[in-house]
Amino acid sequence: MALDHYLTLGRSGLRVSPLCLGTMTFGEEWGIGAGERQSRQVLDRYRALGGNFIDTANSYNHGHSEKIIGDYLSEEPSRRQEMVIATKFFGNMQSGNPNAGGCGRKNIVWSCEESLRRLRTDYIDLYWMHCWDYHTPIEETMRALDDLVGAGKVRHIGFSNTPGWKVSQAQMLAAMRHWEPAIALQLEYSLLERTIEGEFFPMAEEFGLGITPWSPLRFGLLSGKYRRGDAGEPSARQAAGMRNLDDSCFDIIETVAAVAGELETTPARVALNWVCRQPRISSPIIGARTVEQLEDNLGCLDVCLTDEHLARLSAISRPALGFPHHFIERSPTFRNNGLTINGEKADTNPMAMPESGSLY
């Protein structure tokens, strides 16, 4: 696999790289990012290797992330059409103004205009709802987004950090009312956070949605820097994630490190490659403050995990999905009752009815 081996995102014709460049670290306002010069170097290197998918948000470093990208793209006329630019709305960008955040029509239209200004472009390739706004009817959000698509200011839409049932409702409304549907989901997913496999994976398949995971290294906890009994000096975000780490999480971290040792590569590359190899995953989002970090992460595309490695990593990190998933897993026995249906062979149900049918 290579960065210029492109994929179509969800049920669309939008071609994107197998790894998306996340730009939350573009700008230094939050104290975790890089300045304009370093950020431009990262963009140069990503483009040079064939990367075309850039993810940002209106709120990243108070809008500075979008401005860095916009200034960079505007230097050469061809750059804008070469790149797929994704940004988000939701975060409140004007203190004291309740309508400057969320997913109401007023904020969506204003946020879009402001993002277009900072990005120095007249359209956004993929416009994400950054989070579900439970104060706003989803009908209002979907209609506003459909209007932006109709106006040519947005090409495609997607959902991030939104419950599966709400995404399903939005997609059905779009189908019934001939509005623009979402083509992708942006959700947290890694070897340390796999619970989206329960509801989101089958929903994404049903609705033709691509999944672009954020934090595939779980805030860097899968990078190999943090081991059982030796957490080092984690950042504030890493420390927040570490509060939920238990022995089973460190078992996963140590298994990743062991596989990396066998393949003579880094734990980060192993963890990223595992995410890339999962069904329904389209383009994991990787972040980088420096070119060196970018190239280290991109090296995951050269890792060759064997079937045994994949099975070992999947087994140690298998999530507890809760009801009704375990019940459904056991259902073939009393549904099939010893028969094979669509290639699925089931045991005979010891409580099944006699061959003649119902007793009553």
Kindly tell me the burial class for residue 176, based on how many C-beta atoms sit within 10 Å of its own C-beta (0-12, 13-18, 19 or more). Answer: exposed
Question: CB-based contacts of 275: which residues, under 8 Å, 6+ apart?
Answer: 189, 190, 191, 213, 216, 281, 284
In the residue annotation, 60 being an active-site residue is answered as yes
Which residue's structure tokens are 């963009």?
43
Closest CA to 197 of 189, 186, 208: 189
Beta carbons of 46 and 301 less than 8 angstroms apart: no
Question: CB-based contacts of 154: which residues, under 8 Å, 6+ apart?
Answer: 112, 123, 124, 127, 145, 148
Q: Bridge partners of 341?
A: 344
Please report how many Cα atoms fall inside a 13 Å half-sphere around the Cα of residue 149, on the Cβ side: 21
- By DSSP bridging, strand 84-89 and strand 53-55 are parallel
Give me 334's structure tokens.
């009393």
294-310 burial, b if ≥16 CB within 10 A, otherwise e? Answer: bebbbebbebebeeebe
Beta carbons of 28 and 258 less than 8 angstroms apart: no
**Which position among 46, 60, 72, 226 bears the catalytic label?**
60
Alpha carbon 153 to its chain centroid, in Å, reads 23
Distance CA 106, CA 33 (A): 30
Sheet bearing 154-160, strands edge to edge: 210-211, 182-186, 154-160, 124-129, 84-89, 53-55, 20-22, 285-287
Distance CA 358, CA 360 (A): 5
Name the residues annotated as catalytic: 60
